Structure 1
Amino acid sequence: MDKQVAGWSRRRVLGAFGAAILAAPGLSRAQSDRPVKFILPVGVGSGVDTITRSAGPALSAALGHTVVVENQPGAGGIVGTSALVRSAPDGYTLAMLSNNHVIFPSVYKSLPFDPLADITPISMVGMTPFLLVANPQKIAAQGIQELTALLQRQPGRYNYASSGNGTILHLAAEMYVQQAGVKARHIPYKGVGPMMADLMSGQVDFGVLSLPSVLPQVTSGALKALGACGAERMAALPDLPTLREQGLPDYEIGGWFAAAGPAKLPAAEVRRIYGALDRAFNSPEVKQAMAVQNNKIVLMPPEQTVAYFRTEMAKYASVVKGAGLELM
């Protein structure tokens, strides 16, 4: 064979072999230095933002790509979620969603996306405990049963604060009001900061807040903790009984955060990303960070996460209907 022809044939075979290697799914991704973007539909400094940034280095190591956190707040989370929905289903754009995502259909007249059909739930990641607190000067109660008795004696006299109409903190307090069979006026605020300030000053009487945001105020005595909102007691306040223990067997609520991708994310990508989340959030450094923040790691596989989204959506729809909340 002519040497020039033989050399050309060898180059063609090697080139085709190299192209085949680069085309292999796992290897082509390994060759790329493209970052993985986590869209957060919340502002900087929020709970989900702090959690995701704390896990950033471990997520980068587990995914094999630099993780970039991009905050896109607005319209209660709709702006950031819309950006996720519009992204390509290639595993390079993900989001960390919260309860708000499954509350949307119950509090908005229309949405620019379907909360289930237009995303791919990948994994429930963790939960932030909630507790029901009261101003100690306004509420002379040591627990939920005493609070309920007080509200029953004077229906409509007392009020509860929230971080805004239709927010998870609003629905958490409203769920107590409904299950306890009492009446109290809802006072919405624009965020947790002003809500807590007026709770401490006595402008409002009680409300539900996350443990990380309110623990200093409870420890100092500025606010009184009446009950833990989750299914179990909280490690940071082990002597505080749950609302279930205090006579409301069906009460359970907390803040949660879950990883999701856009719709039509391939099953192989879903499994790969779930595995990376499992490694990252079970790493010693992330476990320590979550413990310091009083958050609980609760990883769920994709199928279980999808089912959880549906269950939560139905729960909040029932609370909103019971409250007679006007759609926004």
Structure 2
Amino acid sequence: MERRALLALAAALPTAAPRTARAQRRAVRLIVPAAPGGAIDVLGRLYAPKLAEALDQTWVVENRSGANNTLGAAEVARSAPDGQTFLVNADIHVMAKAVMRNAPYDPVTDFTPIARLANAPMVLVGHPRSTPEGGVPALVAAMKANPNRFSFANSGTGAMGHLATASFQSRAGTEAIIVAYRGTAPALTDVVAGNAQLMVAPLGSALPQIQDGRLRAYAIMGPNRSSRAPTIPTAAEGGFPDLNFTLWYAIWAPKGFPDADADRLNAAVQAASRDPAIAARVAEQGAEPVTEDRAAFTRFVAAEAERNGAIARAAGIEPE
């Protein structure tokens, strides 16, 4: 009887062992370098379960906010490229050297680009009682006639809205002061209140106030009108072509992450972005999913880093 019992136990072990290994496997960490509730956090928490399911893993989202998103990114840069730690961040990631003195990492060479998740259009808005009707030409004329009457709210040093504002003013020949805030929400709140007159803001964040008349929309800062707000013209339609500033969100691994594993994760991200339920949730954030292979994303990151760095230097944006 004892021998039969031992044989039965031995026969059961090969099937039990993999389950034990799976149960004890470390969870994959997806680092969000921003506070909970923002677009980066929402998108990270939206994609994480889909990626975990596709890759037969457990993913947990961890918020490590601070220093213009560089604290969380630095943690990922220091991590081993073993597939246990990833970064989800916005376009501000490639501006680390422009916004932080002695940044502890290079945002391009110290990371492995995995996949872009989504793009989100930006819009130039104004306080309706402090800015003129008549579109961008009327706004520029008013800013030149009364330069001390206007200021721009800015969500963060080196952020896409900051770069768009600097580029717009350079081309328009205006010199309104740019006031830095700690994030999009407080900056928009001050424009709605009239404490600042203008802002280049994410369309998803500004659209409710545009629709109820608390903000005046001047232009989409991209090549095309938005399907969510088709009546808002582009900057090109207002006489300012090539003002193309779009928010984007993506996933990176530490430097040295194997190419085969990176391609596999990129494919999982693309599959998630094609899921109608994911696309609908992304749209709720005022964004659109992106599907592109890893080579295309790598080229995109390099081009964005070069262009945005040049804009920051021309605008005199100094690291803090």
TM (norm. structure 1) is 0.87
Matched, 1:52 2:44: yes
- In the other structure, the counterpart of 2:144 is 152
The verdict on how the C-alpha distance between 1:294 and 1:192 changes in structure 2, with shifts beyond 3 A counting, is closer
**2:134 equivalent to 1:133:** no
Post-superposition shift, 1:298? 1.5
Which of 5, 22, 34 is equivalent to 2:26?
Answer: 34
- Supply the distance in 2 between the matched residues of 1:222 and 1:188 (Cα, whole angstroms): 21
- Matched to 1:75, the amino acid is A
C-alpha distance in 1 between matches for 2:304 and 2:53: 32
Q: 3-state DSSP class of the match of 1:39?
A: strand
Aligned to 2:243: 251
1:1-328 correspondence to structure 2 within 5 Å: 33-328=25-320
CA distance in 2, matches of 1:293, 1:248: 27
1:172 is displaced (CA, Å) by: 2.0
SS in 2 for 1:327: coil
Q: Give the alignment's Cα RMSD to 1 decimal.
A: 2.4
AA aligned to 1:146 is A
For the structure 1 residues 270 and 30, does the alpha-carbon distance in structure 2 shift closer, same or farther, using more than 3 Å as the test? farther
AA in 2 matched with 1:250: D
Following superposition, the deviation at residue 218 of structure 1 comes to 0.8
Structure possessing the higher radius of gyration over alpha carbons: 1
2:77 and 2:217 mapped to 1: Cα distance? 39
- The alpha-carbon deviation at position 148 of structure 1 amounts to 1.6
What amino acid does structure 2 have at the position aligned with 1:109?
R
Amino acid at match of 1:215: L
| 1:162-204 deviation line (CA, Å, top 9, x unaligned) | 1233333222212211122222111222222321221112111
User: 2:97 touches 2:319 (CA, 8 Å); kept in 1?
Assistant: no
SS across alignment from 2:68? helix
**Alpha carbons 2:270, 2:290 under 8 Å: kept:** no
Aligned pair in 2 of structure 1 residues 32, 248: CA closer, same or farther (>3 Å)? farther
Q: Call closer, same or farther: CA 1:63–1:143 in 2, change over 3 Å.
A: farther
Give 1:141 deviation, angstroms.
2.7
> What is the Cα deviation at residue 245 of structure 1?
2.2
- Matches of 1:221 and 1:63 in 2, distance apart? 46
With over 3 angstroms needed to count, the CA separation of the structure-2 counterparts of 1:107 and 1:55, relative to structure 1, is closer
Q: Larger deviation: 189-198 or 135-144?
A: 189-198
Distance in 2, Cα, partners of 1:121 & 1:56: 17
Q: How many residues align?
A: 307
- Identify unmatched segments of 5+ residues in structure 2: 1-13
Q: Kindly provide the amino acid, as one letter, of the partner of residue 246 in structure 1.
A: G
TM-score (norm 2): 0.89
Greater shift in the superposed pair: 53-62 or 282-291: 53-62
